[in-house]
């Protein structure tokens, strides 16, 4: 089934987003999938060695396919003031938010087939009054994810060849994690994970491994009670709901190759528990996939890299992987 282009938001214009978008287009212009950038035309033109010659304004996403082989199509939403690479500023925050809101609207309307987001920096957004911990939570609000398809999104997944992890808590201080864990939240993450493995990754009978929180998965209660009181009941509830769930597993032994053969995704309790193994395994192929949304959304598994922005050093591998994964998910959903 034929579908529209992907929307690709520019991210923080002072970061590596513009540069890796140009490099991703250079790799994909002949083979696709086509995308249309939602962001500032001049930031892209400045990031390109060829300058404005390979960036072309379009007025609607459906123009992207005929432009894509020769130029980067962009829905130009200009910054209010110039931004210097490597120097983030809260003055750019309203534009960054506007680009995301616009791209989500295009995806919800069907004008684009899915959304890929270049990295944003949270600190400048917070300074400007942004009220969400990160991209994932903002997308959940914009898409009314809690009203979508039973269980409540959004759920963050990190996916690389050989490993997928999902998170029960996302952008939370580590000292708050134990108090935030509930049976309901773990069951919800497990259900959304199993649903996405079937629908978006084509796994007919998904297997879900649930990580513990404490060392040695609590050592029978001797090193913490969360496993006994919260995680074990959640695993039982998932099984009762038809999910092939196991755990809680000690997190330090969940990610070797032999263990990874036994499950299709690991549900983790907090941010670093899920992200460190994926990035250690293959940071350049890692992709952030937001589950439980009515739209497809992926992103690179890295940040804005202000320290190298504007120097031509950034690699586009993870962004290219995110674009390809988004296209694969779109294809499976359409099928």
Per-residue confidence of the chain (335 residues) as pLDDT tens digits? 468 999 999 999 999 999 999 999 999 999 989 999 999 999 999 987 656 689 999 999 999 999 999 999 999 999 998 899 999 999 999 999 999 999 999 999 999 999 999 999 999 999 989 998 888 889 999 998 766 555 688 999 999 999 999 999 998 999 999 999 999 999 999 999 999 999 999 999 999 999 999 999 999 999 999 999 999 999 999 999 999 999 999 999 999 999 999 999 999 999 999 999 999 999 889 999 999 999 999 999 999 999 999 999 999 999 999 999 999 999 999 98
What is the C-alpha separation between 335 and 331, in angstroms, rounded?
Answer: 6
Q: In what order do the strands lie in the sheet with 35-39?
A: 55-57, 72-76, 35-39, 6-9, 114-117, 297-300, 287-291, 155-160, 163-167, 265-268, 207-211, 244-249
Contact 6, 35 (CB under 8 A): yes
What's the length of the chain? Answer: 335
- pLDDT at residue number 202: 96
Count the neighbouring beta carbons within 10 Å of the beta carbon of residue 127. 13
This prediction's pTM: 0.93
Three-state DSSP class for 53?
Answer: helix
| C-alpha closest to that of 268 among 332, 195, 188, 186 | 186
- pLDDT at residue number 335: 85
- pLDDT at residue number 1: 44
| DSSP track, 92-124 | GHHHHHHHHHHHHHHHHHTSSSEEEE----HHH
| C-alpha closest to that of 322 among 290, 295, 294 | 290
What is the C-alpha separation between 38 and 236, in angstroms, rounded?
Answer: 44
| Predicted confidence (pLDDT) per residue in 44-98, tens digit | 999 876 566 899 999 999 999 999 999 999 999 999 988 999 999 999 999 999 9
- pLDDT at residue number 134: 84
| Predicted confidence (pLDDT) per residue in 138-176, tens digit | 999 999 876 655 568 899 999 999 999 999 999 899 999
């Amino acid at each position: 089934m034929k579908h529209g282009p992907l929307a690709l938001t520019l991210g923080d214009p002072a970061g590596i987003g513009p540069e890796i978008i140009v490099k991703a287009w250079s790799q994909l212009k002949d083979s696709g999938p086509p995308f249309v950038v939602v962001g500032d035309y001049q930031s892209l033109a400045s990031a390109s060695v060829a300058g404005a010659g390979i960036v072309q304004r379009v007025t609607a996403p459906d123009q992207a396919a005929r432009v894509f082989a020769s130029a980067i199509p962009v829905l130009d939403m200009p910054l209010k003031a110039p931004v210097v690479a490597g120097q983030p500023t809260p003055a750019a925050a309203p534009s960054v938010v506007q680009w995301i809101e616009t791209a989500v609207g295009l995806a919800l309307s069907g004008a684009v087939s899915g959304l890929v987001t270049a990295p944003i920096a949270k600190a400048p957004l917070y300074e400007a009054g942004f009220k969400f911990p990160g991209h994932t939570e903002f997308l959940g609000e914009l898409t009314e994810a809690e009203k979508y398809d039973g269980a409540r999104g959004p759920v963050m997944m990190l996916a690389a060849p050989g490993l997928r992890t999902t998170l029960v808590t996302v952008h939370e201080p580590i000292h708050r994690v134990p108090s935030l864990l509930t049976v309901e939240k773990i069951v919800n993450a497990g259900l959304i994970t199993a649903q996405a493995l079937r629908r978006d990754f084509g796994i007919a009978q998904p297997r879900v491994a649930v990580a513990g929180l404490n060392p040695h998965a609590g050592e029978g209660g001797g090193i913490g009670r969360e496993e006994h009181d919260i995680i074990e009941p959640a695993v039982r509830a998932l099984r009762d709901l038809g999910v092939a769930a196991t755990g809680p597993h000690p997190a330090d032994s969940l990610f070797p190759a032999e263990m990874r053969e036994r499950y299709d995704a690991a549900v983790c309790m907090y941010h670093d528990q899920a992200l460190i193994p994926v990035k250690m395994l293959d940071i350049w192929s890692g992709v952030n996939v937001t589950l439980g949304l009515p739209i497809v959304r992926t992103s690179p598994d890295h940040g804005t890299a202000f320290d190298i922005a504007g120097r031509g050093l950034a690699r586009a591998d993870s962004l290219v992987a995110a674009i390809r994964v988004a296209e694969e998910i779109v294809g499976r959903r359409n099928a």
